[in-house]
Structure 1
Amino acid sequence: MVSYVANGEFGIAKSKELCGFIKVRGSPEHMTSTARYDYLCHLVGEEECVLRAIGGLLAFVVQNGVLAAVATDDESIEINAIRHRNFCDVMDISPTTLRALHVFSQDTHPIGRGGLTPKEGLSLYGILKSHVKTGAARKLLRLWLLYPSTNIQTVTERQFVVDFLRRSSNAAILQALNDALRGVKNAPGVLCRLRKICGGINDWKALYSSLKSFIIVLDTMKVAMQQNEDVKSSPLFAHATSVSETHLRQCVDWIDAVVDFEESTASGKLVVAQGFSEEIDEMKRCHSGLDDFLTSVAVQEHENFLEMDNPPSLSSLCFTYQPQIGYLVMLSKADVDRVGFENLKQCGMSFIFSSPEQGYHFKNDRCTQLDDELGDIYGAIMDLESKAYRYLETKVFEASASILEVAALVRELDCLQAFACAANEFSWTKPNFLEDEDRLVVEDGRHPLLELVVPSYVPNSTNLRGGDIQIVTG
């Protein structure tokens, strides 16, 4: 569908005004429209054509109800991110052509239920996607097929890696890479959540798994370069050897030292591993022994009650610890009803709260003494563990540049190994480029999808030379 927008919607003054309402996720809070405009220009530049395009697009989506209109400086249009796309040296293929060639093919639900995400059907992307191991690589693969590169050097470099990985002599290398890639998670997304202080145990698991997998991938690529002289000419493999693993290994060691994955998973919160901090370990030992300690305190305190003049008749007396409240004396409802609040008050008991399950809770001098000597031990443990995780985050952030660099490298490698696996499975071959000849020569060409759905397929050869070529299908 083509929509026509009035020329006035692309006016520079109006576009700049609308750009001032854009708030990019992750930008500072409470910015004025002028500050938001300056921040946007920092990201996309100040070229007039870019600002006009952004302004025209915003005007269009607001007019069509996709976004609500904004009118005051306090309002903003929040967007997730701005990504730069370089459309130089890429082929422009229309969506209709992509569907006709079955580069992409989405199957809707057979009974037409709305709201269900269509699945990828029989398509070139579907074949390759089944061999990709990571979500980031699936997105990159889709981008490669949407905008195929026309840069001969780029295509040749990719073909070299695919051809190297598909060789039978390198089957062990390909298998090792496949095994390692299965452990790669969304490391950039984890770093983003950690920066927002909203990361949980699953994020640390994902980052830990990714870092260990990154190291294995880099080591495997370095071994491949040592064993194969020709692979040294590959920019991708050369990049792998130039990346320092030091930061990655340090992060793995820090996570190993700080995070107790088993306890964190069981408790549903982040727990610091034993041995990282003597202070935390000592507090945890004290906290784990509180029940026995408070039982002995309760026995002693009950004896003190019996030594009083006219001691209250109590069937039981317990000491308990409540986080943020401290140490309390717990009495049953029957004892409190029999003795009465006034008599208990004369014995130095101050009422705090009651609960149907546990009875009545009081504080006395012994509780205050325990508060002063032991304090809120659970809260102290939480504070120290929180500081430990903040410290771990700073160590990870120091290595974030290396993590993101390796994540991008691994994403590209995952796409290329998917091509290698598909080439082995379907006997695809590598084409050669004839830069000085205007020819297209195909010997026994096979359609990658058609041969999968017919009982027998007859290969076709093609030899085209010179001039403009138009291919008619039907």
Structure 2
Amino acid sequence: MAPHSEHPAEDNTHVRFASSPSHAPQPRPLSSSSSSPDQDWDGTLDETIMALDYRDRKIGCCYLNAIEGKLWMMEDMEESAPWDLVEALRFHVQPSTILLSSRIEESLLDKLEGLAAPTEPAPSSSSSATSGPDSTGFALDIRPATEFAYQTARSRLISLRVGQKEGPRIEFAGAEEGDGQREGLMRLAGWVDVDSKVTVGCAGAVIAYFARRRLIGGIHGDDEFVRVSVNAISMFSMNDYMLVNADTICSLQIFEDESHPNFHMQGRGGRGKEGLSLFGIMNSTRTPQGSLLLRRWFLRPSLSLDILHARHSTLSLFLHPSNLHVSDALCTALKKVKDIGKTLLGLRSGRSGGTVGEWQRMLEFIWSTIKIRGAIEELFQTSENDNALPIIQQITNNFDIPALTTLGTLLTSTIDFDTSSLEHRTVIARGVDDELDNMKHVYDGLDSMLAQAAAQLAEQVPREVAGVLNVIYFPQLGYLITVPAAEEGEAGGGGRRLWEGEGWEFQFNTATCFYYKSVEMRELDEYFGDIHGLIVDREIELVHQLQLRVLESSALLTKTSDICAELDCLLALAESARKFGYQRPRMVEENVIRITKGRHPLQELLVPSIVENDTNLAGGRSTDALRLDGEDGEEGELEVNSAMLLTGANFSGKSVYLKQVALIVYLAHVGRYVINRPSFSSALLARLRST
């Protein structure tokens, strides 16, 4: 029996009414409070807050992503000219907000203010000078120097109690006053370098920023930041990354943002589109977290030979002919791996309440990771060291299949996904809770009960009314008698009452129906109550219990998601290497670049043919001879130069050749295969200008 389309209440489902002639009016269903359409939660919490400070010729940096919940702290670095490092940090971190100390050097402040367009102060920083985001996507927030104080920041880090259960615990023989502080400091020293005092001060500023946002969010009812917390602390060093500046990113076309073809996606609030760029042709990732991590790899080329060798060896494993079917299976499984971080943050904050879409994505994530674990076991080992590859070890050791299976079974047995999709809310499956099952049993029997009630009332009314009288149930309003209007009245005014029984209380009317309460209806209200509301309330309680149980496994899910992101990146690099015919580079410590038959990775996609070029360069005196491996693997002396001067006519390919050499070296430090074999470089600076 379909509901009618007219009713003064909200639009949703859940109306019960007795059988009636086809011409009898059927009221529109009334909404329940928790039966809202299932819309994916897309909160505004995807922010990265970075704090910078420079004093005593040392740069400190700390940043925190609201969704990831990991506090990254950089080792203090001595710099007499800090702008290049500050610019590199800005490109590497891609912050949405940069916190600066009020005592920072004017030169740094002026340059950063020039990149951030002025805007009105945010509510969380009404007392500070703030600049809004420009095309680079960051706002500037000048904070008091006291927020960067070392002692205060160290106390804030200790109060986080991060890793207290997992981390090292130090116990003292006597329980004297101050031992708790000493224990916290010793535990903190096991996680971070407390001697990096400038960075520790930056960490205190970041923590204070989020504390301020949480306070303001709670006061104004905006709970987005109420549940943001620091889940982990990690140290990083810029010495582990190649120095890449803005000119290099632009000149080499590492990234190329284009206006989105969809008009509604354009503008400051819209999303851009990746154009023809190195990242664009290499990015075939299947997961959002994988795409983000690959972007970080391209922004932060690694200088660690161990990391680069591991990535290159992993690509060799995936590209082996015997493992192509496994790589395809892994790519297929990764398509169902969504960003579990946003889902967990939504559950933790209580903002989303666990929508049907979130539970479905989580379930797909769990089953897909189990498939990934099984596919990894099918890899053909090309060497005895393949099992020791970091990504293989991480999947083997961290994908807790029993725990993931238990969690997946919990979701499938608790949530009725088919009914949830129909009702646009999370519906608990039968068999989970006896009390809920009893209420649903009563609710399912309302049709026959309402039909009996209507038949009894029909005996008390005139014959012309008995055929059109109905008894219905509205959530929140209860049980009502409905009688059609005698005739259609003026628009919006309703018709004339057909008949009203003795003791009936008029409730409301529509253009076609009048609704009444009677003694019998109030008895039904008292006996059955608002049965649908009771069902929804009980399901909300059970969903909350499910949320708590799922959040107990948040560390496992987050770790699994991070590993899937790295696996996704490696598979994307392997796919592009197979597609474009790239080779594994040989990384050496010597200051040398040797490329045989190199090609420009972007230019070769735009022209029908391209000339391959060799490159031999070495640092040091140009008269020195360098021993290098020949094409047949034998060592031999090769005369190389430390500089190269290119001459030629316009459009002869000079700029293409310069870019080609830099891009090949760049790709090698990202950890992917290249056009040919470069060496090891610590910095890559480029600026091209045509006149």
- Provide TM-score, normalisation by structure 2: 0.55
SS in 1 for 2:448: helix
Say whether the 8 Å CA contact 1:330–1:362 is kept in structure 2: no
Q: Distance in 2 between matches of 1:250 and 1:337?
A: 60
2:306 is matched with which residue: 138, 153, 157? 153
| Cα deviation, residue 133, structure 1 | 0.7
1:331 is matched with which residue: 483, 487, 501? 483
Say whether the 8 Å CA contact 2:286–2:335 is kept in structure 1: yes
Deviates more, 1:78-87 or 1:180-189: 78-87
Say whether the 8 Å CA contact 1:225–1:232 is kept in structure 2: no
Deviates more, 1:95-104 or 1:139-148: 95-104
Match of 1:242 in 2: 397
1:309-345 Cα offsets, whole Å, 9 max, x none, are xx999545332212123222333445995666xx723
Report the count of equivalent residues.
435
1:93 is matched with which residue: 244, 249, 265? 244
Say whether the 8 Å CA contact 1:9–1:55 is kept in structure 2: no
Task: Say which structure is richer in helix.
Answer: 1
Say whether the 8 Å CA contact 1:222–1:237 is kept in structure 2: no
Q: 2:317 aligned with 1:187, yes or no?
A: no
2:426 is matched with which residue: 258, 264, 270? 270
Change (3 A) 1:369 1:158: same
Q: 2:604 aligned with 1:451, yes or no?
A: yes
Change (3 A) 1:394 1:319: same
Q: 2:256 aligned with 1:105, yes or no?
A: yes
1:14 is matched with which residue: 144, 165, 176? 144
Change (3 A) 1:323 1:220: same
What code does the residue aligned with 2:482 have? M
What code does the residue aligned with 1:407 have? S
Q: 2:293 aligned with 1:140, yes or no?
A: yes
Change (3 A) 1:378 1:117: closer
Q: 2:354 aligned with 1:205, yes or no?
A: no
Matches within 5 A, 1:299-310: 299-303=455-459, 305=460
Q: CA RMSD in A?
A: 4.2
Q: Distance in 2 between matches of 1:388 and 1:284?
A: 15
1:170-228 Cα offsets, whole Å, 9 max, x none, are 10110010100111111111111112221311111211111111111122113327897
Change (3 A) 1:317 1:212: same
| Cα deviation, residue 393, structure 1 | 1.4
Q: Distance in 2 between matches of 1:451 and 1:321?
A: 70
Say whether the 8 Å CA contact 2:101–2:145 is kept in structure 1: no
SS in 2 for 1:88: helix
Q: Distance in 1 between matches of 2:348 and 2:102?
A: 41
Q: Distance in 2 between matches of 1:408 and 1:278?
A: 39
SS in 1 for 2:331: helix
Q: 2:448 aligned with 1:292, yes or no?
A: yes
Match of 2:198 in 1: 49
| Cα deviation, residue 245, structure 1 | 1.4
| Cα deviation, residue 106, structure 1 | 2.3
Change (3 A) 1:423 1:350: same
Match of 1:317 in 2: 469
| Cα deviation, residue 256, structure 1 | 0.9
What code does the residue aligned with 2:588 have? L
1:16-56 Cα offsets, whole Å, 9 max, x none, are 3599xxxxxxxxxxxxxx99x94898499997534766899
Matches within 5 A, 1:168-179: 168-179=321-332
Identity %: 29
Match of 2:516 in 1: 361
Q: Distance in 2 between matches of 1:330 and 1:136?
A: 55
Q: Distance in 1 between matches of 2:379 and 2:299?
A: 31
Say whether the 8 Å CA contact 1:138–1:415 is kept in structure 2: yes
- Provide TM-score, normalisation by structure 1: 0.78
Q: Distance in 2 between matches of 1:230 and 1:237?
A: 11
| Cα deviation, residue 301, structure 1 | 3.1
Say whether the 8 Å CA contact 1:15–1:54 is kept in structure 2: no
Say whether the 8 Å CA contact 2:436–2:538 is kept in structure 1: yes
Q: Distance in 1 between matches of 2:558 and 2:205?
A: 33
1:421-459 Cα offsets, whole Å, 9 max, x none, are 000001111111234x44332222222222222221222
Q: Which runs of 5+ in 2 are unaligned?
A: 1-82, 87-98, 106-141, 163-187, 207-212, 487-494, 622-641, 646-657, 659-687
Match of 2:320 in 1: 167
Q: Distance in 1 between matches of 2:582 and 2:357?
A: 39
What code does the residue aligned with 2:420 have? S
1:404 is matched with which residue: 558, 568, 576? 558
Match of 1:223 in 2: 378
Q: Distance in 1 between matches of 2:234 and 2:358?
A: 27
Change (3 A) 1:470 1:276: farther
1:254-308 Cα offsets, whole Å, 9 max, x none, are 11112222222222111223444454344334323322321112212333x36xx
